[in-house]
Amino acid sequence: MRQTCNSDGGVGSTENVQARGITLLSIFVDTPTAEPNPETKLLADFKTDTHLRKVYLAGREYLNKEGQTSVSPLIGKIMQQICTDPTLCPEYPSSFGLPEFTRRATELVLGRDCHAIVENRVLGVQTVGCTGAVRLGAELLKHWYNVSGVWCGPVYLSSPCDDSLAGIFEAAGIQDVRRYRYWDTEQRGVGVQKMMEDLEMAPEQSVIVLSASAHCPTGSDLSQKHWRLLTQLMVRCRFFPFFLLPAQGLCHGDFQQDAWPVRLCASLGMELLCAQSFSHSFGLYGERVGHLLCVLKQSSTLLAVQSQAEKQVRALWSRPSVRGARVVATVLSNPAHHVEWQEGVKSMVERGILVRERLREKLRLLGCPGSWDHLIQQGGLYCCTGLNVQQVEFLEKRRHIYLHPNGCLNPQFCLAAPPGSLQRRHTPKLAVWLCLSTHRIIRVSCLRSPLPSL
Amino acid sequence: MSIFAEVPQAPPVAVFKLTADFREDTHAQKVNLGVGAYRTDDCLPWVLPVVKKVEQMIVEDNSLNHEYLPILGLPELRSAASKVALGDDSPAIKDGRVGAVQALGGTGALRIGAEFLRRWYNGTNNTATPVYVSAPTWENHNAVFSDAGFKDIRPYHYWDGEKKGLDVTGIMDDLENAPEHSIFVLHACAHNPTGTDPTPDEWKMISEVMKRRKLFVFFDSAYQGFASGSLDKDAWAIRYFVSEGFELLCAQSFSKNFGLYNERVGNLTVVAQDKDNLARVLSQMEKIVRTTWSNPPSQGARIVAITLNNPDLFIEWKGNVKTMADRVLLMRDQLKAKLIALGTPGTWDHITQQIGMFSFTGLNPKQVQYMIKEKHVYLMASGRINMCGLTSKNIDYVAESIHETVSKVQ
């Protein structure tokens, strides 16, 4: 126990105890300070940096033309409608969330005519963002992957991946989390061969976490040809795919294409989980609109799995919050809104491509060593520059430009900012010049150096 | 072969099943006394007028964006919510040793607290620390602590079915005999499902034993304001324990007292001995949140924060809360009066002695079945009714049904 007692066995309030000259220890005295998560630390370092021209390029959001997060007028209008709608009542939603939302979220990924939907072997659960979806999926796997005993992994994550992923599986009680090689510094893209090698070595029934499109944090994805090879391997080795789809539509500007790997697995009759987010595609980050999709092999298992999912949700957050999901459901259920929204997503993609092209062009004009084609081959929110740890550190310490330690950044944060706004938004020219200086000064550990293993 | 082929069906959640059965029932006079939410006298959910007003303000405020909230939540909500629980003039708050984590409703707050305690309380990852929940308690308490990793969840005596009141001796015995450092989940007010709370003197006795035996205090506060109509009165127990020097956790829910059931607004208040301990605790809680939902939802948090931090809106909100509490008190008075007028066997004082949304009627399982099957009045097998399900239109029918049931079924 952390508290000492006084002579009559009671522990008094701080004042009483101090008056009696007794030391009182907190029951929390042995709780250590948690290591800050890398993203929080990076942002904190940026905020305390007093340099006038500091740049933050590691943001997690999509930005509009003005360099700010925003929602489209359509979304704004729908939020207003919802606010004044007298038929909407503030009741507890089910633990699965809004049925209209889960239905549309499921159709968006799989396509309305997907056999799995028609055969009633798909479960959809509204979750608290993509993190909530991954957590719920992890809990389901932990409890039910091996009914005869507790299953603890292994789960395979790409190297690199979102830095919170491993922690989510661990929090669900899955300790055996491993990596497969993904980003290849030499090729400035996905090292498919190494990836396949690593997965060939994985034990049967491993869970493989895969990015369906717009890989975080590299922006590099597999080609369809490579997806086919990978699914063959997964079927052969009896792996269980757990897809991440945080930005459907924002990779290619095409919702079907961005979900293609998930549809491929479903069409092959595989069971899978897919964690979705609508944060980016709707600009609704704060509302935490996520979805966990579960495709089963047999419809006879649906009710049981559904009941167990409900049980997990009940003890995590009981039910999700509805506001954001209601907006998304309203858009996806209305053909005219749906089209307008898709057009909006396409223009976000076009803007993203433009920024990448400008960045690459600037680098080329400045004669920056190496090839920068990978910037435009990548898609979605993130971009992996290929800079190594020393180069990233140089940028941070000497140029006050903040990237993820693995060399990944969000190119949109290079956009021009309106006067008087946060310092985090700067012109591509500045960012590029500073990238260039990195290559000129650190010649030895230049572009071809491998990234340190994660 | 599906990897899920042998997954068993989980038992249905009793209160959800009750509501589902009620929905399918076509009887004209059916009454649902199982629902866990407020209803107006027209048996409709109620959007608090202050909430409507603030929602409109939010929608029209172009300066508000849709970005992620910080991991620990909206700062204005966290501080205001803790103040509501501990009081404006709380010395603990002034000392800077009170912090909070915004969570998804009361459930989320309990879960984050439970996860923290399992990892860092009474050793590191000590899953064997006993967790005591009242007998009976909200049926989700068990699941939250169990899923957080605790292996030893035990009941403590609470409800005395014979005297239809608190089993004070039982509580005190369990407190005296619990292993040191055990965690006790205490309902701050309006105990769910019995509606029976300790008196201030009884709370003082509980506090004395818990202090002496080094037991951990984890308050569940889902009904502040809703129980008596007074925020301060309903927080008396929490404030007393803080004044007695306890370090404690308090899971708050704003689902009921703001009618924001579907926006999931909760807050885990942490009272530590000093700033330093508080900071370390919050850093670990942040890590836990990051792997659970990453950032909490913004909509409900803004509504509550704006309301609590604006003096006029705060007064308006307290009025709305009192409206709900008063309707419940009225239904209690009327139900008891009608049962007495009908000459219903037994005593019915407990109906008005109990407080909050729920009442433990004392009906036994056979009587409950009769109520449901023969009278189409739905209540939990424990005999719990939600007073909010009673209205001026159905109260006569319900009173008559109870009268008939108690007379016919033993």
Residue B102 has pLDDT above 90, yes or no: yes
The domain made up of A35-71+346-454 is a member of CATH 3.55.50.30 = no
Using the beta-carbon criterion (under 8 Å), do A90 and B263 form an inter-chain contact?
A: yes
Rounded CA-CA distance B113/B145 in Å is 9
Mean pLDDT computed over B166-170:
97
pLDDT value, residue B4: 87
SS3 A208: strand
Using the beta-carbon criterion (under 8 Å), do B277 and A307 form an inter-chain contact?
A: no
Name the CA radius of gyration of chain B, rounded.
Answer: 22
Shortest Cα distance, chain A CAs vs residue B232, angstroms:
22
Rounded CA-CA distance B47/B230 in Å is 20
- Choose between B16 and A28: higher pLDDT: A28
Residue B12 CB: number of other CB atoms within 10 A? 12
The letter for the amino acid at A234 is M
Residue A7 has pLDDT above 80, yes or no: no
Using the beta-carbon criterion (under 8 Å), do B68 and A286 form an inter-chain contact?
A: yes
**How high is the mean pLDDT of chain B?**
96
Q: Is B125 exposed, middle or buried (0-12, 13-18, 19+ CB in 10 A)?
A: exposed
Using the beta-carbon criterion (under 8 Å), do B3 and A271 form an inter-chain contact?
A: yes
Q: Is B305 on the interface with A (CB under 8 A)?
A: no
pLDDT value, residue A25: 87
Confidence of residue A219 (pLDDT cuts 50, 70, 90): very high
Q: Which residues of B touch A93 (CB under 8 A)?
A: 262
- Nearest-by-Cβ selection for A131 from B106, B294, B299: B294
Ranges of H-type helices in A85-191: 99-110, 115-118, 129-144, 165-171
Contact residues for B305 (Cβ-Cβ < 8 A; gap 6+): B74, B76, B77, B80
Residue A52 has pLDDT above 90, yes or no: no
Residue A173 has pLDDT above 50, yes or no: yes
CB A179 within 8 A of CB A165: no
Confidence of residue A439 (pLDDT cuts 50, 70, 90): low
Q: Of B59, B12, B97, whose CA–CA distance to B282 is shortest?
A: B97
Q: Which residues of A touch B98 (CB under 8 A)?
A: none
Q: Is B125 on the interface with A (CB under 8 A)?
A: no
Domains A35-71+346-454 and A92-333 share a fold: no
Using the beta-carbon criterion (under 8 Å), do B216 and A24 form an inter-chain contact?
A: no
Q: Read out DSSP for B367-403?
A: HHHHHHHTT-EE--TTSEEEGGG--TTTHHHHHHHHH
Residue B351 has pLDDT above 80, yes or no: yes
Q: Which residues of B touch A279 (CB under 8 A)?
A: 68
- Nearest-by-Cβ selection for A316 from B59, B65, B292: B292
pLDDT value, residue A450: 32
Rounded CA-CA distance B24/B29 in Å is 13
Q: Which residue has the tokens 């858009």?
A: A331
pLDDT value, residue A433: 52
Of A104-113, A375-384, B363-372, least confident by mean pLDDT is A375-384
Packing angle of the helix pair A192-200, A224-237 (nearest 10 deg): 10
**CATH number of the A92-333 domain:** 3.40.640.10
pLDDT value, residue B21: 94
What are the structure tokens assigned to B235, written together?
């927080």
Which letter, b or e, does each residue of B66-83 get, where b requires 16 or more Cβ atoms within 10 Å of its Cβ?
Answer: bbbbebbbbeebbbbbbb
Chains A & B: contacts with CB separation below 8 Å: 261
| Per-domain boundaries in chain A | 35-71+346-454, 92-333
CB A176 within 8 A of CB A197: no
Using the beta-carbon criterion (under 8 Å), do A317 and B111 form an inter-chain contact?
A: yes
**Nearest Cα residue in chain A from B273:** A26
Secondary structure percentages of chain B, helix, strand, coil, to 5: 45, 15, 40
What DSSP state is assigned to residue B188? S
Shortest Cα distance, chain A CAs vs residue B405, angstroms:
31
Using the beta-carbon criterion (under 8 Å), do B255 and A170 form an inter-chain contact?
A: no
Active site residues of B: 138, 220, 256
Residue A434 has pLDDT above 70, yes or no: no
Cα dist. A287→A61, A106, A383, B51, B65 in Å? 13, 19, 25, 18, 11
Mean pLDDT computed over A311-326:
96
Q: Which residue has the tokens 């002695």?
A: B353
Q: Which residues of A touch B147 (CB under 8 A)?
A: 139, 312, 315-316
CB B182 within 8 A of CB B215: yes
- Nearest-by-Cβ selection for A13 from B36, B216, B244: B244
Rounded CA-CA distance B91/B274 in Å is 12
Best mutation target, A5, A14, A22, A27, to test chain B (most B CBs within 10 A): A27
Q: Of A173, A195, A172, A198, whose CA–CA distance to A184 is shortest?
A: A195
Strands (E), A22-173: 55-56, 122-128, 155-159
Question: For residue B70, is the peptide bond before it cis, meaning its omega torsion is within 30 degrees of 0?
Answer: no
- Nearest-by-Cβ selection for A287 from B1, B290, B298: B298
Rounded CA-CA distance A284/B207 in Å is 45
SS3 A275: strand
Using the beta-carbon criterion (under 8 Å), do A1 and B214 form an inter-chain contact?
A: yes
What DSSP state is assigned to residue A7? T
pLDDT value, residue A435: 57
Q: Is B248 on the interface with A (CB under 8 A)?
A: no
Rounded CA-CA distance B376/B27 in Å is 7
Of A249-263, A428-442, B161-175, least confident by mean pLDDT is A428-442
**Nearest Cα residue in chain A from B278:** A28
Using the beta-carbon criterion (under 8 Å), do A28 and B281 form an inter-chain contact?
A: yes
